[in-house]
A and B are shown apart, each in its own frame.
Chain A
């Protein structure tokens, strides 16, 4: 290769890199815009919001809206902010995610390593369950929860979320364990290990990535759910999305946008945190088998 052409190649490579970086950064800025608007609004006073540009930085930063949203904003007749509801959501989401992930793992294990006749039909039926619109199950679900004596309880809400999350977690684990070498299982059976022992010693140690995918997926869905929360929990046991909706959709009075935005960001923090902390494992987990066709 002659020097000039090398120069040219180098130069065009640099141009390419610059182009790629600028495209990526422009898109990132666009993606951040809504969050940016929310954050700056939550730090402005009401007067500044009314008179200013919503994209502009706050002239005077105030944390008052955050304090109000957390502990003194009125939702209905109670004026103690959204903090109580935040814990309601935690109480609901932790057991629901744990149970659906455990059940999904066992289901995936059975459907790949202990197959029996009709396993595909059963899996297909479980998978199709992911696609039902939730609005149709509200009424029959109310009746069933009433019958079980779980209406308006956190446990009832956990049950609902576990049921409608099972299809997803089963799918994730099944596709993941599908790729897991059967020889290891056979070897373990030769050693006289039983059903649960094999799961514990052979599959579980390498289930990290897919566990992360399941947990992120379930956590996000359950934490953000509104329709079930509004229908099956109420008053003091309402999850945070219901409380947030009560705050933002107030029918009268001055709309305190800064408080609303602060409350909205607070409500979104746990899921954001999960994504930021576990984001890299998420892609890894997807790679590890759940995107297989």
Chain B
């Protein structure tokens, strides 16, 4: 030890000290570094497809999984990477987050690939809004999920003589019946994002597309404080009475398992839940049923996973573009989405490879695109920026878990959305 240690020397000593000073070598040509939170199950398998596709083109895949908090840990890591000047090649991301990063000017330009492969013509406009910033393609969309779905256990429904509900009141009646029979009516996990996912569907079923747009996308104070919104919270309270007592903190896939095992009749959840049913070897139409949140048929509340592409050194750009192209390729779109429970982002793909629920989802999407009833999901960051989304989470989850009245909830909602700007 010398007495005149400088920071630089100290760092040098540390590098020596840390066995090998294992610094990650800057990415070689033909490497993509992918930050994502698909760490398990069918999602990881499906992503493995993309990896092998790229490897066959000579692009090596550096995996950077960060699980937890529906991607919030991954976003923390991303910030720290961007601030240290080492952005990953591609990052799994959703909705407004992508646009926020686009605004920071640290993203790549995919316009070349997009023009070459005609993305503009095949990707729905509502989705393009989140993949482009200022007319520039900055992300490669992977799938289209939708949140206004209900999943039901067919055997249990037949046993109790319950038909697929058409209207909200039918739905509540059906659930009361299930509860009376001693089963759990609604399988639900008490996490803020799950409460909000249910909320998406209830807003759509209660107020329709126009109200949904006004309240959750335009954040119109009048709509937010209207009687319709009050009714939405009344309905949330109704649903609260139909879940079992042990719901707080339960993961969504465990709630799905309750439906799969026949302990519960219904789950209101996005179509990633279908992946769980398929994983358990269940067949749509015979073992389980899928239907739109009663009252919202004809509209699709969507969210979409994308790989946002960040600005990287010149020698890594080629691999980045190859990856973007592979994500949008029809083969990968089919392979991934049949496993994940979502539908392809391209409208020019045949539904042949998809199961009954997948076919219905694709038909619904086409209908929604033509009727202009395709709207972004609030719960999953496709209706308003993260700050607003989280403000809504706070109120919805506090109301659902507490004793707040609908009036109070409406007042709080309007106030906390106001405060988030």
Contact = CB atoms under 8 A, between A and B. Distances in A.
Interface in A99-113: 99, 102
B33 interface: yes
Contacts of B13: 99
B64 A253 contact: no
B63 A77 contact: yes
Q: Which of B33, B38, B44 has the most CB of A within 10 A?
A: B44
Given A78-B63, A154-B22, A247-B39, A252 B253 contact: yes
Contacts of B79: 138-139, 142
A152 interface: yes
A63 B261 CA distance: 27
Given A75-B39, A155-B11, A245-B68, A138 B80 contact: yes
Contact of B24 (A162, A235, A249, A255): A235
Q: Which of A76, A142, A255 has the most CB of B within 10 A?
A: A76
Interface string A86-126: 00000110110011001000000000000000000000000
Q: Which of B42, B86, B276 has the most CB of A within 10 A?
A: B86
A55 to B, nearest CB: 17
Contacts of A231: 76-77, 80
Contacts of B61: 77
Contact of B19 (A95, A242, A246): A95
Assign chain B's interface to a size class.
35 or more
A237 B24 contact: yes
Contact of A159 (B14, B23, B51): B14
A153 interface: yes
A169 to B, nearest CB: 15
Contacts of B9: none
A20 interface: no
B37 interface: yes
Contacts of B40: 74, 250-253
Q: Chain A interface secondary structure, helix, strand, loop or mixed? A: helix
B145 to A, nearest CB: 12
A139 B77 CA distance: 10
B417 to A, nearest CB: 25
B14 A254 contact: no
Interface in B158-203: none
Contacts of A237: 22, 24
Contacts, number: 164
A158 B86 contact: no
Interface residues of A, number: 49
B21 A153 contact: yes
B67 A246 contact: yes
Nearest to A235: B64
Contact of A138 (B17, B20, B48, B76): B76
A286 interface: no
A236 interface: yes
A154 B275 contact: no
Contacts of B48: 77
A70 interface: no
B65 interface: yes
A255 B18 contact: no
Interface in B71-100: 73, 76-77, 79-81, 83-86
Interface stretch (A30-38, A143-151, A175-183, A269-277): A143-151
Nearest to B21: A155
Contacts of B37: 251
Interface string B32-52: 010111111111100110010
Contacts of B24: 152-153, 235-237
B73 A230 contact: yes
A144 to B, nearest CB: 8
A235 B21 CA distance: 16
Given A99-B17, A235-B33, A255-B253, A146 B65 contact: no
Contacts of B14: 95, 99, 155, 158-159, 162
Contact of A251 (B67, B83, B254, B279): B67
Contacts of A95: 14, 17-19
B41 A152 contact: no
Contacts of A94: 19
Contacts of B35: 234
Contact of B70 (A143, A162, A251): A251
Contacts of A249: 39, 67-69
A104 to B, nearest CB: 14
Nearest to B85: A146
Nearest to A227: B76
Contacts of A150: 11, 23
Contacts of B84: 142-143, 145-147, 151-152
Nearest to A195: B3
B39 A246 contact: yes
20 contacts: A76-B44, A76-B63, A76-B65, A77-B47, A91-B20, A94-B19, A139-B80, A142-B80, A148-B11, A151-B81, A151-B84, A152-B23, A155-B11, A155-B15, A158-B17, A232-B80, A235-B62, A237-B22, A250-B67, A254-B41
A-B complex: 5 closest residue pairs judged by Cβ atoms: A253-B41, A76-B65, A146-B84, A250-B40, A151-B84
Given A153-B24, A154-B19, A252-B40, 5 more contacts: A77-B47, A158-B14, A162-B14, A234-B81, A246-B68
